[in-house]
Amino acid sequence: MQVTTKAIVLSAIKYGDTSLIVKAFTASDGIKSYLLKGVLASKKGKLKPALFQPLTQLELVAYHKNKGTLERIKEAKVVHPYKTIHSNIIKNSIVLFLSEMLSNSIQEEQKEQALYNYLEYSLIWLDENHANPNYHILFLVNLTKFLGFYPDESQTDGNYFDLLEGNFRTTPNLNPLLENEANTLLKRFLGINFDAIMQIKTTKQHRLELLNKWILYYELHLQGFRKPKSLAVLNAVFQ
């Protein structure tokens, strides 16, 4: 079946000498993987490898068989040309990290329009604003709303956040916990939008502690989730 859909590129992996396998989150059908035969060798073809950089926003004309196999792209064009994301080293590092997180987190082959809208808005915000070391943390905190394990905000007085249960506690238990400054910092990220991250003042140490524990939070709640390899690169640019 031929479909026309918006899509956000999550990864592009070389296949053989001349082809790519592209994984994308589509507005029409959720996660899809495409085989682009000969795209690395053809200079005259409509599909250019540069179109498939991480988190590029595209409009695709594609053929979806919906049988769990690799699909095919007929046409692709950029729908939101980024002005800064791929040229700014900090933003590019954020994008590489988030593309890996998304690739490991989103697993459904079904339409999820609210999630697509969130990703679209978040990436445009990043492109149009100054790089901020709090951006990717808020991105990942808010992403859990769509993945089904956003923190329970009914009781936020506790000094501990239970990473297994997803709620705040007044006393510790044997589960992995956020505590002290990292717990306080998490509360500041709850319920805010990206414009508010400029007001969050913290240290690199506390931000890194929260990020590492938040990645563990994903590991505990998503089957098969793998810790992103690009995390070390991201940490290096925020020295």
* Segment 128-132 mean pLDDT: 95
Of the candidate ranges 10-14, 109-113, 162-166, 179-183, the one whose mean pLDDT is the lowest:
109-113
Confidence at residue 239, expressed as pLDDT on a 0 to 100 scale: 59
What pTM value is reported for the model?
A: 0.95
**Paired sense of beta strands 2-15 and 72-78, if any:** unpaired
Q: Where do runs of H (alpha helix) occur along 71-192?
A: 89-105, 113-128, 135-147, 180-189
User: Regarding predicted confidence, which is higher, 38 or 56?
Assistant: 56
**Rounded Cα distance, 79 and 82, in Å:** 9
Residue pLDDT, tens place only, 55-92: 999 999 999 988 878 999 999 999 999 999 989 999 99
Query: Is the separation of the CB atoms in 201 and 188 below 8 Å?
Result: no
Confidence tier at 226 by pLDDT (50, 70, 90): very high
Query: Token pair for residue 140?
Result: 């990942």
Show the domains of the chain with their CATH numbers: 2-78 (2.40.50.140), 89-237 (1.20.1440.120)
pLDDT of residue 120: 98
Inform me whether the pLDDT recorded for 43 exceeds 90: no
Residue 171 has pLDDT above 80, yes or no: yes
- Report how far residue 20's alpha carbon sits from residue 10's, in angstroms, rounded to the nearest whole number: 13
Q: What is the pLDDT of residues 102-113, one digit of tens each?
A: 999 998 888 899
What does DSSP assign to residue 50? G
In this predicted structure, the answer to whether residue 42 has a pLDDT above a threshold of 80 is no
Lowest mean pLDDT among 13-22, 129-138, 228-237: 228-237
